[in-house]
Amino acid sequence: MSSKKRLGTLIGDIDMSSFQKRDGNAGAAPTTRPTTGVGLVMGAIAGKGDLERKLSETQASLDQASQRLTEYEGAELVRKLDPASIRRSRWANRDEQNFAGPDWDAFKAELQSAGGNVEPIKVRRVIDGQSPPAPASVSPTIEFEIVFGHRRHQACLELGLPVNAVVVDAMEDRALFAEMDRENRQRANLSAWEQGRMYNHALKEGLYPSIRRLAEDLHVNFSDASRCCKLAQLPDAVVQAFPSPLVLQVRWAKPLADAIQKDPDGVLERARELHAERGKLTPAQVIERLLNESPNNPKHCIAIHANGQQAASLKMGPKGRAVVEFEAGALEPSRHDALVKLIADFLNAS
């Protein structure tokens, strides 16, 4: 076989389709595609390097994005919700009297000027079986339930404004109750009576087995929690004797409970009489009348006259206490010792 034929046999199986024909024109511009086997190999190596560089840049961008996401890990994102899609919590502790009056109007005006609630409320998504269903009168489009922020929600609802809210997909009742209680105590504007109603409701529904366990879990003073519960357990007639249940004070819980236990009929009778004068007396005057005998009783307050005018008065207090009050200027400091001796001689003689 000739040399030419042997060469043809050796190269016959080589694919030459990727090679370009050289341009015979001397003035033609050089092609950018490799025209030799070595050129193709070098081009492939260069392409691989460029791909690796792009992959490296992409990975760096992903790392930066991941780092930025880590900075937001655990952060609560605020959403704008239709207040009509949110319902009150079954543990709601706000009395409806919070949503009326000059203070309420001023609160709404503040939200109106700000275009909504600057401080977001918190809601949980309504999940079947998570809590009792809403009343039949409630729109079926309800999607969320308030964790805290009932006043802000109500204000936005009345103003027709979207409400800014933090949404959690799931939250157990006890966790919701604890967050609501903590948020309200931090604001320090929930009345003792409302607080007591909230605690009593939780105990009645079995959320906590006892007041002591409730106080421990919520990190509140056991004595204060107990007295708040006593306030909320007062008969309706006693509560209605006051201008508003929101004015009831914790320190009145025990004396009122003791008075009702000792003389329930008398306390209730005085409460019904006071209801007719509701709005005319201060809360302090109401509690005094409830714990004492009727002011029509002459022993309730006895005037003491001297030199033709009232100089003092003898007032009968609860549990048999008696208080003598002197009018301003009626008792000079130099006569204090003489008064003390006079009282002591009077009591010794009796």
Residue 332 tokens read as 């000079």
**Considering the chain, what percentage of its residues have pLDDT values greater than 70?**
74
Residues 6+ apart with CB under 8 A from 267: 238, 256, 259, 260, 290
3-class DSSP state of 170: coil
**Among residues 144, 191, 245, 181, which one has the least CA distance to residue 153?**
144
pLDDT tens-digit series, residues 139-169: 558 889 999 999 899 999 999 999 999 999 8
Residue 119 confidence (pLDDT) above 60: yes
pLDDT tens-digit series, residues 69-79: 555 455 567 88
Question: pLDDT value at position 300?
Answer: 61
Question: pLDDT value at position 299?
Answer: 47
Confidence of residue 137 (pLDDT cuts 50, 70, 90): very low
Residue 132 confidence (pLDDT) above 90: no
Confidence of residue 138 (pLDDT cuts 50, 70, 90): very low
Confidence of residue 308 (pLDDT cuts 50, 70, 90): confident
**Among residues 155, 310, 328, which one has the least CA distance to residue 302?**
310
pLDDT tens-digit series, residues 265-284: 889 989 998 888 887 888 98
3-class DSSP state of 48: helix
Q: In the predicted model, what is the mean pLDDT of the chain?
A: 79
pLDDT tens-digit series, residues 215-252: 999 888 999 999 999 999 999 999 999 988 888 999 99
Residue 48 tokens read as 């691989």
Instruction: Give the mean model confidence (pLDDT) for residues 180-195.
Output: 79
Please provide the size of the chain in residues. Answer: 350
Task: Kindly report the CATH number that applies to the domain delimited by 76-189.
Answer: 3.90.1530
Domain ranges of the chain: 76-189, 301-349
Instruction: Give the mean model confidence (pLDDT) for residues 71-99.
Output: 78
The better pLDDT of the pair 20, 289 is held by 289
Global pTM reads 0.54
